[in-house]
Amino acid sequence: YSKCKYALALSSGTAALQAAMSAMDIGVGDEVILPGYFWVATVGAVVRAGAIPVLADVDDSFSLSPESVRSKITSRTKAIVVVHMGGVIGQVSELVAIAQEHHLYLLEDCAQAVGAAQCGRKAGTFGDMGIFSFQLNKNITSGEGGMLITNDLMLYQRAVAVHDLGYPRDTAGRLVFDNPDAQLWGIGARMSELTAAVAHAQLARLDTICAKMHAAKYKIIGEIQDLKFIKPIPVPDPDGDAGSFLLLTLPTRAASLYFADALRNEGVVADAGGLYPIHMDNWGLHIYYNIPSLVNKRGFASVSPWDLSENSASSDVVYDRGTCPHLDQLVSRTVLICVASVLSEKDINDIVSAIRKAAGGMDGII
């Protein structure tokens, strides 16, 4: 599907992240640059590898900013992780160029971007490796499950070793013990046959699912483009947007809080007690400063990478609110709407009507 040479099925996207980190030999003494807008599993994989996560800011599309990445590179930097949140691929070509210039790995976290593309090229194929998740609320789901793709044979063999018993396998499925570059420790994260059967069936529906989400999202955008104070985030390649989330920014935090409440009062809710639409202040473990274990530099079990002498040169790295100022101000005035693949024309029209009604009540707030 992705036109990559190698694909490895795993038990989860989290396991795929861990296998990728190990395949890239990321560990103690290394720094990994990633955006402050992610899912907790992304930064957790860096910590479990014993490396130091370094947060870079985002651009207006909520994607990793190349300019911020450049400012964060040190002699300890080993890799850059770009996270395609909500099915939107940002300035990935610029990030590839930066990684190549500084001889760094580039890992694409495509957990929310299976089916997304940019200029006809699928998510996960720009960097050295790409990972995906098939967890229950992703674009396609097998309940759980993940995938890793790459064009690099050695990275693939090392990932196979990590996800299995610590050694790669030959074409007959036999363990290979004479490849010292791929002798690691396994985490037993193989995808089960039952999960694979469901994922395989879902893959056949992926393009249809993404097309429905994309059509609904851009129908809504087209119907509200005249609104002065409510703007969808910019997307570098709208045609390749998987369409699963609609992020709308407003001029102030007060206006965005009012807007989120107004939408819910108009009945634009995913379900009774559901999260969506949600003001991004409340977007939980997707925002760096909402993760106590990161802010307080807690390690995995009793070992903290921040306390290791090998990482002492990175001791001044912080994760408090204010570390990513552009992201912080975007989060403070943005509302996120989940775009389901089953929205009817009536659903779409109801969402548009609710947005327009909410906009009409903002005159005294902005």
Q: Return the active site residues.
A: 138
Of 349, 352, 357, 327, give the one whose Cα is nearest residue 258: 357
Q: Find all residues with CB under 8 Å of 78, minimum gap 6, and list them.
A: 24, 25, 26, 30, 31, 32, 51, 104, 105
Copy the structure tokens of residue 294.
């990161």
Query: What letter represents residue 209's amino acid?
Result: I
216/209 Cα distance (integer angstroms): 11
Among candidate residues 105, 115, 106, 135, the one with its CA nearest the CA of residue 39: 135
CA dihedral 109, 315, 159, 115 (to 10 degrees): 0
If one counts every other C-beta atom within 10 angstroms of the C-beta of residue 19, the result is 29
Tell me, what DSSP letter sits at residue 192?
Answer: P
Residue 129 to residue 167: CA distance in whole angstroms: 19
Q: Directed axis angle between helix 40-48 and helix 13-23, to 10°?
A: 40
